[in-house]
Structures are given as structure tokens and as C-alpha cells.
Amino acid sequence: MANKILITGSAGFIGRSLIERLRSEAVELIECDLSLGHDLLDLKQTLALPPAAIVVHLAANTNVQTAFEKPFPIYRDNLLGTLNLLEYCRLNRVQRIIYSSSYVYGRPQTLPIDETHPVMINNPYGRSKLIGEQLVTAYSEDFGIAASILRNFNVYGPGQSPRFLIPSVIAQLYSESPAIKVADLNPKRDYIYIKDVVEAMWRACQSNAPGTRTYNLGCGASYSVGEAVELIFKLSGRRKPIESAGKSRKNEIMDTVADITRARLELGWEPRYDFAAGLADLLKTEGRIK
């Protein structure tokens, strides 16, 4: 069991990339995903999963866009699924759980944002992930399960749902639509490429740190929506008019930049892709450019 890693959400956006990354390592992978018939909301089914030494918990309801209209599925899926998995960890004496969280800081008081920044959740999805962090920490403290909480900033890469900005812009650019439509050109985000995220997860799997440690994952720089679109234009050699609805989401945050010092020092992790390099790799992977 020492080299067995259970990955929940293994067929999802991050899960697929993590599986691909770990296939070259001397580990045995146990894939767990709703599409494979594994429902984490079913405690009996979750406890019947094969025992593992390490758990990477990626499975989540990430439908941020409808979180205010339909909060119940967000809380149910993200909290009950996490709680059931933590019971699996306790009963199987799992050594470490890697919990994939998200941006939980709300409007930043200072930039860049380190892990000690106050958490100020402004949406149900972020709140569900923070409560998940608290459950992970509770099980870590009460039952001795080491935990690494990874707060991902804005992840992008091949296979991401077109609900998100980067794949949406690329899809529109290569479609017959006359313009690129976005909601608002102004919000700035710290974008991190999927390959860097899964590398950090692998480093966390190898960590020997006791207790619970929390890490920001980002690139340490922010780009506005408008800057992101222009960079995609430049890398692709294509261009279309941009149509902005000028409509901000409820509780919109205008800028985020991750301080990744702790991940550098404790995990020995460094992002290999800046935003331009990540976008170029994405476009090449999808066959958009050579």
C-alpha cells in the first residue's frame, strides 16, 4: 500500500493531467470518479474503495457561475463528498491527503497574497472549499492524517471546460463567430498552467511535513482579461474584434496575485511556465499552432 495513490476526480480537468504526470513515477494509481461509477456522496461506496497510502482529493462541484442561484448542490457535493473521503482516510490509516482548494481570500488587502492573508469568502463555491479545508484540518489534528492544502489560483490548460475564460476565448477565436465576447475586460487574475499545478501536487505527495500545511499555487503575476485576450491573439497569429458586455459578476474581485514563497521553500516547487509560455503550450497541444 505504501506506493498507492488514490485520486478522486481522476477523469476531471486536473485529474487527467495528474494521472498523465504520475504514470512515469513508481506509484500505483487508484482512479476514483463519478464517470467511473464512484459516488463520493455514498459513504458505503467510498469506504469500499481500495486502501491507499496517499489521497489526492480533486473531485468537486466547480459550477461557480450558478452558485448563487443553486447553492445546495455546491455545498452538498463539496462537503459531504469530502467528509466521506476523510472517513475513508481515517479508517484506512492514510498517511497524507492532498486537498485541492481554490482562491479563498476575497478582495485582497495586500498584494501579493500569502497564506496568512485573511480569508474573506464572497461566493458559495469558495465558502464550500474553505469549509472543506477546515474539515481536512480537523481530521488531520484529531486523527494524525498529514494534509497538504493547495489553494489554486486561476488554473488553465488543455481539456478545461469552455465555461472558463481561456478556453472560451480560444474556442471563439477559432470559430466562425465574428467577435470575441467577454463579460468584462478589467478583472486581473494570476493564471497558473495545469502542468505546474500537477507538479506541485506530486511534490506535495512526497512531502514529509506533519500536520496541515497550506500552499498558494500561482505564477506570482496577474493579467487582465483584456491582456489575456491580446496575448492569445499574439501567440495564435489571429485576431478578432473584442466585445465586452461591461458586466461584472456579483462580488467581483478586480486583482489577485499569489505569493508562492511557501511552496517554493517547503515543496521545492517552482512554476516552469509563465503565462505566455503556458498559453503557447496549450495552443500547441490543441494543434492550434506549431
Residues 6+ apart with CB under 8 A from 77: 41, 60, 61
Q: Are 122 and 256 in contact (CB under 8 A)?
A: no
With cut-offs at 50, 70 and 90, classify the pLDDT of residue 116: very high
For residue range 205-256, list pLDDT tens digits in order.
999 999 999 999 999 999 999 999 999 999 999 999 999 998 777 778 999 9
For residue range 19-56, list pLDDT tens digits in order.
999 999 999 999 999 999 999 999 999 999 999 999 99
| CATH of region 4-156+193-218+257-272, choose from 3.40.1260.20, 3.40.50.720, 3.40.50.2030, 3.20.20.70 | 3.40.50.720
CA distance 12 to 260: 25
Name the residue ranges covered by the structural domains of the chain.
Answer: 4-156+193-218+257-272
CA distance 123 to 105: 11
CA distance 3 to 53: 7
CA distance 32 to 82: 13
Predicted TM-score of the model (pTM) = 0.95
Q: Are 213 and 275 in contact (CB under 8 A)?
A: no
Per DSSP, what are the bridge partners of residue 229? Answer: none
Question: What's the Cα-to-Cα distance from 89 to each of 76, 99, 198, rounded to whole Å?
Answer: 19, 12, 21
Cell numbers that stand for 106 in this block = 476575497
For residue range 46-78, list pLDDT tens digits in order.
999 999 999 999 999 998 888 899 999 999 999
* Higher-confidence position of 204 and 163: 204
pLDDT for 246? 82
DSSP 249: P
CA angle 188-192-198, nearest 5°? 155
Cell numbers that stand for 144 in this block = 494524525
